[in-house]
Chains A and B, each alone.
Chain A
Amino acid sequence: MTPTRGYRVFQAANGVVLTLVVVVTLFPFVNILARSFSGEHAIRSGQVTLWPRGFNLTTPHRVMSDSLFWTNYRNTVVYTVVATAISIVLTTCYAYVLSKKHLKGRGLLVGIAVLTMFFNGGLIPNYVLVSSLGLRNTLWAIVLPNAISVFNLLVMKAFFESLPPELEEAAAVDGLGTYGTLWRIVLPLSKAVIATMLLFYAVSFWNSWFAGFLYMDRQELFPVTVYLRNLIAGATTGSDYSTASDTALQIAASIQAVTIVLTMLPVLLVYPFVQRFFVSGVLLGAVKG
């Protein structure tokens, strides 16, 4: 079907809008990338716009030559992988249960989850709890306290509810129990939403610094976000009689930029894989069959 004139106009307008979006969101990043590699003087006098000036690798070098940085980076990877895995399993199971409208006590189960979105105990009780459970200074202090995000839970639940009931009926006819239905029928059809949740959880854990900061007492256990946050703070506040060496100054000027690049990199690398699952049409064909 050939596009109408109206549609072509729309396409053009769409192009303009999207280009605007790209420019507005991309420009600061190019700027930041340029700053990561620029000399401190150019940065401080505001001369860096789209291209590095006074090309300089001091900050990336300083950061990457610190073994603590790599230890922390590895920590982040481990924490993120474990936390995401546990979160996905728990969230999917619970969301599936909640999506079964016939289940007795379902309202109660939903309520239990929703209530926690609004009421929380505050910093000190959480700290005491994690401490008493002996989780401080272990990876579980980061993984467990935030295992389920009710937001994600409810989105998944909505998705499961939107699946046609004929699916389950067909599975029951084939003799599949609950576990079987979940594993063999529902999950394969839920790739899009699971991929999305994986992304959300992974990004959230990857960027989080507070749990690591609060519950870890030794530097080797910090996630890299804490390391970088401290680096930025150490560079920008002259609280002590801190070093005024050239390296320190160069770092101060570009550390924020380097931080951003380093934290974003893995996500940008992972996302294309996740995006594969957002392919239309393929998934629901199975229903008809």
Chain B
Amino acid sequence: MAHLSRRQLLAAAGAAAAVSMAGCSDDDGTGGLDDSRAGAMDGFKAGDQFKATEPLTFSIMMLSNQAYPFKENWPFWAELTKRTNVTLRATAVPGSDYNQKRSVVVSAGQAPMIIPKTYHPDEEAFIAGGAIVPVSDYVELMPHYQDKVRRWNLQGNLESYYQQDGKYYLLPGLHENVWQDYSLAMRTDVLTKLGLAVPATWDELTTTLRELRKAYPDRYPFSDRWSTPPSPGANNLLGILSDSYGTKAGWAWNPAYWDAAAGKFVFSGAMDQYRQIVQYLATLVSEKLLDPESFTQTDDSAKQKFANGKSFVISCNAQTLVSECRKDIAKIPGATVAKIPLPTGPMGATLPGESRLENGLMISKKARESKNFVAMMQFIDWLWYSDDGLLFSKWGIAGDTYTGDVDDGTFKLSPQVKWGGLNPGAPKELQVDYGYFNGVFAYGGSTAMLNSQFSDEEKQFQAVMNKRTPRPVGPPHPLSPDEREQVTLWEAALEDHVNQQTLRFILGQRPLSEWDAYVGELKTKGMDKYLDLANKAYQRFKDKK
């Protein structure tokens, strides 16, 4: 009986995709599912609404964001139970310190069954101790998930999550397309006044900044934010610059960069492309176009400068554009601000492909041992990966909180409900009063789904972004636990040195002519040993395939 339903699932999802994702371990663990089927649906396939055959309860770790704190009486819960026959028992954790509590609770072996809001590679720490389940073994139970992976071509991205045993341990949120949210905000009224066009490339940005400085010689036209330690500083700026130049820095930092042409991993901080972005920023700072404090000041300081008209360019995303930049300059007569399309660099009109996988779920060992395990996986599949489930957790109930459909652009939020910039005068808030669009459940989805939340302004920005091609993702280099322990120390030492020297080069404390000496220093700190290990691990992974 068990084998029959498994075959049905395989057929529905597409045999090829299913086999490649379950890895080589077709029989591991999945064979023992006979005792775990209580409450599960037979023949559950893509397009089905999940409904447990008996009322079930699953424990979940619930991040409570204080902007819309966790409420037990949210309509979301009641409707969820009505549709799926599942009640979620939540452990409320303040969003301020979610990671720490999660770490303690999982390490102590006392985690709830479902642990959401986990960003890769945070799950790697818990693998060796056996606290979490290799989810890749069980994706055959999840037809909606498999369907999306296949349709949106995410197999390559998923591979980057593989561990040494060829399995992965995190169920990520899936995006149909790369979603670029962060960019730069500029004072468009000042640009218009000076007859300047919005810069399209980084070099054009330099020219624009020079003009701004000429017109206002007493201030830095660009003063940046998002400098929380421990990354070097002005992390968004470094991040988007590195994306445009083909390396990794700031928020995008990853010590190992996959050099497809050479077929091996190189060290990001030593690449020539990295030197180029350092040089770019050093030029900006030396010409007094970029405020040197950008790299160490608090966000409040940076925002203040923008608010007082002392600077004209600042990093932003869609939300901060509306809620901060625009509000900050409200008292300056005639001031307008817009998020400019991401400036391009040597990599042209492309975007890094990694962000198609989003934060996701870990499944604890306790869940695997439960007799309702299969039902739970199906439930997760429906809620997080089916179109119906995503729509429900994001926007709520058709006819109640919204009308229309996201796929054909007729979607409209009910006038009684407000969210973000939509329906600002409405009496109820989607997240606070209903529990929809909660960061724990509503992540990922099709581009149409994403667009339904954008204001017109943001839709324009996204239209430009969507024309850029996503770049392929590099392969993984999975390490054994012993190797990982060793590598942690090396990575820390290397990253520290990179961060420190990056700032010193940019701020002019160290001349760029010393770049080669800097690379030499990285070598003495173990850069070559590190790369050796990474490349060997990659080879090992490749051979195993």
Contacts and interface: CB of A to CB of B under 8 A. Distances in A.
Q: Decide if A and B are genuine partners.
A: yes
Interface of A: 40-41, 44-46, 68, 123-124, 127-128, 131, 213-214, 217-219, 222, 226-227, 229-236, 238-245, 248-249
B92 A217 contact: yes
Contacts of A248: 67, 323
Contact of B323 (A127, A213, A244): A244
A233 B94 contact: yes
B108 A230 contact: no
Given A44-B328, A213-B101, A249-B327, A242 B317 contact: no
B432 interface: yes
Interface string B92-109: 111111000100110111
A227 B303 CA distance: 26
A244 B328 contact: no
Contacts of B511: none
B5 interface: no
A241 B437 contact: yes
Nearest to A216: B92
A243 B419 contact: yes
Nearest to B453: A241
B420 A128 contact: no
Contacts of B64: 219, 230
B104 A123 contact: yes
Nearest to B61: A217
A214 B93 CA distance: 9
Max chain A C-beta neighbours (<10 A), residue from B94, B108, B331: B94
Nearest to B109: A128
Given A218-B91, A239-B95, 13 more contacts: A131-B110, A214-B101, A234-B66, A234-B67, A235-B66, A240-B65, A241-B437, A241-B439, A242-B431, A242-B439, A243-B67, A244-B323, A249-B327
A154 B92 CA distance: 39
Interface string B67-110: 11110000000000000000000011111110001001101111
Contacts of B101: 213-214
B429 interface: yes
B43 interface: no
Nearest to A212: B94
Contacts of A240: 65, 67, 439
Given A123-B104, A127-B108, A232 B319 contact: no
Interface of B: 64-70, 91-97, 101, 104-105, 107-110, 299-300, 303-304, 307-308, 317, 319-320, 322-324, 327-328, 330-331, 418-421, 424, 429, 431-432, 437, 439, 453
A114 B475 CA distance: 53
Nearest to B419: A243
Contacts of A128: 108-110
Nearest to B309: A45
Contacts of B93: 217
A243 B92 contact: no
A118 B288 CA distance: 50
A243 B433 CA distance: 12
Given A45-B328, A242-B68, A243-B431, A124 B104 contact: yes
A238 B320 CA distance: 8
10 contacts: A45-B304, A124-B107, A218-B92, A227-B66, A232-B96, A239-B95, A241-B420, A241-B437, A241-B439, A242-B431
Nearest to B228: A237
A93 to B, nearest CB: 32
A249 to B, nearest CB: 6
Nearest to B110: A131
B68 A243 contact: yes
A238 B328 contact: no
Nearest to B97: A213
A245 to B, nearest CB: 7
B439 A239 contact: yes
A213 to B, nearest CB: 6
* A interface SS class: helix
Nearest to B394: A241
Contacts of A68: 69
A256 to B, nearest CB: 10
A45 B329 CA distance: 9
A249 B308 CA distance: 18
Contacts of A242: 65, 67-68, 319, 431, 439
B317 A238 contact: yes
A245 B421 CA distance: 7
A232 B308 CA distance: 24
Max chain B C-beta neighbours (<10 A), residue from A45, A127, A218, A235: A45
B303 A44 contact: yes
A229 B69 CA distance: 13
Given A41-B331, A230-B96, A234-B96, A243 B429 contact: yes
Contacts of B317: 238
Nearest to B430: A243
The 9 closest A-B pairs by CB, nearest first: A234-B66, A233-B96, A240-B439, A230-B94, A244-B323, A230-B66, A45-B307, A217-B91, A242-B67
Contact of B319 (A44, A45, A227, A244): A244
Given A124-B104, A241-B437, A244-B420, A45 B331 contact: yes
B65 A219 contact: no
A127 B111 CA distance: 12
B92 A245 contact: no
Contacts of A131: 108, 110
A241 B96 CA distance: 16
A78 to B, nearest CB: 19
A124 B308 contact: no
A44 B324 CA distance: 9
A170 B104 CA distance: 55
Nearest to A243: B67
Contacts of A127: 104-105, 108, 110
B95 A230 contact: yes
A227 B65 CA distance: 11
Given A243-B420, A245-B424, A213 B94 contact: yes
A217 B419 CA distance: 28
A230 B96 CA distance: 5
A40 B330 CA distance: 11
A196 to B, nearest CB: 32
B432 A243 contact: yes
A46 B110 CA distance: 46
A248 B424 CA distance: 12
Nearest to B424: A245
Contacts of B94: 213, 222, 226, 229-230, 233
A76 B339 CA distance: 44
A143 B420 CA distance: 41
A253 to B, nearest CB: 9
Contacts of B420: 241, 243-244
Contacts of B67: 234-235, 240, 242-243, 248
B307 A249 contact: no
Given A241-B437, A242-B67, A229 B323 contact: no
A68 B66 CA distance: 11
Contacts of B300: 44
Contacts of A46: 304, 307-308
Contact of A234 (B95, B299, B323, B331): B95
A263 to B, nearest CB: 15
